[in-house]
Structures are given as structure tokens and as C-alpha cells.
Amino acid sequence: DGGITQSPKYLFRKEGQNVTLSCEQNLNHDAMYWYRQDPGQGLRLIYYSQIVNDFQKGDIAEGYSVSREKKESFPLTVTSAQKNPTAFYLCASTPTGGTYEQYFGPGTRLTVT
């Protein structure tokens, strides 16, 4: 099956701990994205990567970090500097070549207490 996988589906952490969310795709897409979704709100862009070894900040990058060492993987680290980390995190990818449709993973719900 081709697609985007995110793991785990639910993640619990104590305040002050860093946590890394996994995102893997086997669609051979060049671009990958991380979004945050809060209840009753739309998606807000955290980071994106158009190509391996390169990434850019989105609208709400503070307190987050990413890496893009492989085309198929784009892990997101939620650091202790993120003031309100509890949220639903969505990873997406898109092929290059003039199409803008983003394919989404199933999401990871992170709860920090």
C-alpha cells in the first residue's frame, strides 16, 4: 500500500520533555509538510521541506524542529520550548511538477501534561 504513515497515533509526554513524531511516505513525493490542528481550528503550517536536506519554517515553527535526511522521512520534534504542545499533528506530502494536492497521514494526537 502506498501512502503516508504517522506513528504513534496517540502520544503522551510530561511537560519539559522533547518528543519526536514520525512521518514516513512511500509515494516518492519530494515535498513534505507538518501541520498542527487545534480543536475547532484549521490547519497551521509548522515546517515544510521541498527537497532532501532542506526545510523551511512555516507560520508557527517556534518550539519545533525537523530534519529531512531521507526523501521518505520527515520527523518532527516538539521541544520543551513549545508552550502549548498538546494538539493533533498532521503530516502531508505532495509530488512536484505543478500539482498542489497534499496527501495527509492519519495524524498523531500528542498530549502533554
Partner 1 sequence: GESVGLHLPTLSVQEGDNSIINCAYSNSASDYFIWYKQESGKGPQFIIDIRSNMDKRQGQRVTVLLNKTVKHLSLQIAATQPGDSAVYFCAETTWANNLFFGTGTRLTVIP
Which stretch of DSSP H or E encloses residue 66? strand 64-66
Distance of alpha carbon 16 from alpha carbon 7, whole angstroms: 21
Among 66, 78, 87, 90, binds partner 1 (CB under 8 A): 90
* Closest by Cα among 113, 92, 112 to 103: 92
Among 69, 97, 101, 113, binds partner 1 (CB under 8 A): 101
| CB within 8 Å of 51: residues ≥ 6 apart | 30, 31, 68
CB of 36 to partner 1, least distance (A): 11
Q: Does 74 bind partner 1 (CB under 8 A)?
A: no
Q: Does 49 bind partner 1 (CB under 8 A)?
A: no
Residues that bind partner 1 (CB under 8 A): 4, 6, 33, 35, 40-45, 48, 58, 90, 92, 100-107, 109
